[in-house]
Amino acid sequence: MDILHVFGYVGALIVGLVLGLTGGGGSILTVPILVYLLMFNPVTATAYSLFIVGVSSSFGAFKNFQKGLVDLKIAAVFAIPAFTMVYLTRKFIIPAIPKAMFNIGGFLVTKDIFIMVMFAIMMVTASVTMLKPKANHEKVKGYRKLSNLLIFNQAIVIGFFTGIVGAGGGFIIIPALIILGNLSMKKAVGTSLFIIAINSLIGFIGDIGNIEIDWIFLLTFTAIAVVGIFLGSYISNYIPGKKLKKGFGWFVLVMGIYIIIKEVVM
């Protein structure tokens, strides 16, 4: 095992630690770790990420379900179109994308570059969400009518991007559940984890048969990440997660910009 593989497995622990400490965001590191440290191609990395994110989110979803913080009705309205789109994207759209996509001023945009740039854009967007002050949705007065059509449409879009980049997209799902689904912040977080777990695992099923899966590696990486989640949850009793999340947001922003520069300029 070379030094990059060692750092890759350490990265798996860090993914879990961040998830346990801050309650989210850590899984966005999974694809860069798999691509740049463990040398997987982006298609395989995003597939593996869906499995890792799905399993990791399942632990958080189960804990929130026990506390009554998962709205199954809203989850069904959101999850069914979303996981359908994730599955279709992984099963049919990703394999259909040509290896050489198009040229921009003599620069050839390949499938791998396209996926990594899309992922980097998601990282930058997620980092901005982590860094900006949280809007206090609880102050919104009155009852907002449940908009099933808007939830359905947003779920389709989120499902497509989740399928492309292999990340859960909780930073998009949570505001949608609060604004369109009339949920409190705590219930939105719990319901989001439930939706992400289902989306990711069903999306991963779409990859089975399309790529060769190294189950020993994948289960080992996932197990290390889960250990990190429990360790992070324990440490979070002593370290405030809000401050950590802001620092992590800056790190994700820098990483996203670095990936764009690496894929487009270098």
Taking only the tens place, the pLDDT of each residue in 229-244 is 888 888 877 876 667 7
Cβ neighbours for 234, distance < 8 A, ≥ 6 positions apart = 20
Question: According to the model, what pLDDT value does residue 147 have?
Answer: 64
Question: According to the model, what pLDDT value does residue 131 have?
Answer: 83
Question: According to the model, what pLDDT value does residue 211 have?
Answer: 92
Q: Mind giving me the DSSP string for 146-165?
A: P-HHHHHHHHHHHHHHHHHH
Question: According to the model, what pLDDT value does residue 223 have?
Answer: 95
Question: According to the model, what pLDDT value does residue 23 have?
Answer: 66
Element (H, E) at 4: helix 3-22
Q: Within a 10 A sphere around the Cβ of 61, how many other Cβ atoms?
A: 23
Q: How far apart are CA 150 and CA 92, in angstroms?
A: 25
Q: Provide the CA 197 distance to its chain's centre, in angstroms.
A: 10
Q: How far apart are CA 252 and CA 255, in angstroms?
A: 5
The neighbouring-strand residues paired with 110 are 100
In single-letter form, the type of residue at position 202 comes to I
pTM of the full structure: 0.86
Q: How far apart are CA 31 and CA 47, in angstroms?
A: 9
Can you count the helices (H) and strands (E) in the chain?
Answer: 11, 2
Residues of the chain short of pLDDT 70, as ranges, are 1, 23-26, 134-147, 168, 240-242
Q: Within a 10 A sphere around the Cβ of 23, how many other Cβ atoms?
A: 17
